[in-house]
Amino acid sequence: MGRVIDLRSDTVTVPTPEMRRAMYEAEVGDDVYGEDPTVRRLEEMAARRLGKEAGLFVVSGTMGNLVAILTHTRPGNELILEAESHIFYYEVGGCAALGGVMVRTVPGQRGAIDPGELEKVIRGQDIHFPPTGLIALENTHNRAGGAVIPLEKIRAVREVADRYGIPMHLDGARIFNAALALGVPAAEIARYFDSVMFCLSKGLAAPVGSVLVGSREWIARARKWRKMVGGGMRQAGILAAAGIVALEKMVDRLVEDHANAKFLAAGLAEIPGLKVNPAEVETNIVRLDVAATGMTAEAFCAELKLRGVLASPFDPTIVRLVTHKDVTRGDMEKTLSVISRMVG
Ligand code: TLP
């Protein structure tokens, strides 16, 4: 059957030889004492790149979002999220369990929330109400199929947030995919947010880690929360070293992943029984509707696996395929011919 083509996620990417070398050679110290020079370099580099004062290296995107929520809010606060957001869907309810935060969701359009709808759910001063503590957006938006939220829509949300003095956090797990699709530096997106989390371990292919960025004062507080949730690592420079290579070398090549996703979507759209809108594929995620094949997404993925291609069931009839550095144009062609034979 040959090599398995793994399109489940960009999290499956393995570190490059250059990352492994950098990890081997990394200069390290005890980061809880603030003495790991490689972690510090990564944090400074990330902050500079996103136009913020300071950065904090965290274990995962989930931890980065959780620490951001803990730092911005108090128990009993309301957190406003888009209804399909990763924080709401896939982070194990951590904000409620560990932060005592109540979530209020707003239905979005391809991940973006309408400023008017947002304004309706922001709490006033009524004695009965929990205070609205934070608004978080996600760009690119995972469940919306890697949709990019345009700058005007972010700006409109920020204007509402400012009117009520509410901070904003960005789940920017894939912010560099968004920046590439928008044709702007990532800092142009980040400037609308008080804090941003982005991942090194997805399309950028580092083995572990995300970075939280914000003001110096805010990051100092976030550092304490990171310690509380057990994220104070010691000689973490070994991991940060790969993150530095990720930021320096792996951002520009995301263009290939986007091109492969578009190619894949265009090919899938030609296969009878499959529904996908190639115009909606803006980055590296393809949402494929398999309802008309009569198969569930689970069954579709199971059949596909037998033929050497891995994909994720996302909803009962929606399959997600994600492109990344460890799959090639040839793999896209192979995937198309495998799927076409499978449903044909
Ligand atoms: N997403 C993973 C799964 O959890 C679904 C994936 O395969 O896409 N924010 C966004 C937008 C994400 O997509 C993810 C991971 C995270 C946060 C969490 O990052 P990790 O997995 O590092 O905790």
Q: What is the rounded average pLDDT of the residues 113-137?
A: 97
- Ligand 1 atom 19: residue of nearest CA: 61
Q: For residue 60, which atom of ligand 1 is closest to its CA? A: 22
| 239-253 tens-digit pLDDT | 999 999 999 999 999
Q: What is the pLDDT of residue 135?
A: 98
Residue 22 has pLDDT above 70, yes or no: yes
Most ligand 1 atoms within 8 A of CB, residue of 9, 137, 199, 315 to mutate: 199
Q: Are 214 and 196 in contact (CB under 8 A)?
A: yes
Q: How far is the CA of 275 from the centre of ligand 1 (A)?
A: 25
Most ligand 1 atoms within 8 A of CB, residue of 202, 204, 284 to mutate: 202
- What six digits make up the tokens of 74? 């108090």
Q: What is the pLDDT of residue 2?
A: 77
| 52-91 tens-digit pLDDT | 999 999 999 999 999 999 999 999 999 999 999 999 999 9
- Ligand 1 atom 21: residue of nearest CA: 61
Question: Which SS3 state, helix, strand or coil, does residue 157 take?
Answer: helix
Residue 8 has pLDDT above 90, yes or no: yes
Q: What is the pLDDT of residue 341?
A: 97
Write down the pTM of the prediction.
0.98
Residues 6+ apart with CB under 8 A from 116: none
Q: Which domains does the chain have, with CATH numbers?
A: 5-12+253-343 (3.90.1150.10), 17-249 (3.40.640.10)
Q: How far is the CA of 86 from the centre of ligand 1 (A)?
A: 7
Residue 194 in contact with ligand 1 by CB distance below 6 A: no
| 205-232 tens-digit pLDDT | 999 999 999 999 999 999 999 999 999 9
Q: Are 292 and 157 in contact (CB under 8 A)?
A: no
Residue 94 in contact with ligand 1 by CB distance below 6 A: no
Residue 139 in contact with ligand 1 by CB distance below 6 A: no
Q: What is the rounded average pLDDT of the residues 145-149?
A: 98
| 66-75 tens-digit pLDDT | 999 999 999 9
Q: What is the pLDDT of residue 344?
A: 83
Both ends of the chain: CA-CA distance in Å? 20
- Ligand 1 atom 15: residue of nearest CA: 61
Rounded Cα distance between 89 and 159, Å, is 26
Residue 164 in contact with ligand 1 by CB distance below 6 A: no
Residue 170 in contact with ligand 1 by CB distance below 6 A: no
Residues 6+ apart with CB under 8 A from 294: none
| 284-318 tens-digit pLDDT | 999 999 999 999 999 999 999 999 999 999 999 99
User: 6 - beta bridge partners?
Assistant: 310
Q: What is the pLDDT of residue 1?
A: 61
- Ligand 1 atom 9: residue of nearest CA: 173
Q: How far is the CA of 128 from the centre of ligand 1 (A)?
A: 35
- Ligand 1 atom 5: residue of nearest CA: 90
Helices (H), the chain: 17-25, 37-50, 61-72, 86-90, 94-99, 115-121, 151-164, 175-182, 186-190, 216-228, 237-249, 254-269, 297-306, 329-343
Residue 46 in contact with ligand 1 by CB distance below 6 A: no
Residue 15 in contact with ligand 1 by CB distance below 6 A: no
CA angle (182 as vertex; 158, 246 as ends), nearest 5: 100
Residue 198 has pLDDT above 90, yes or no: yes
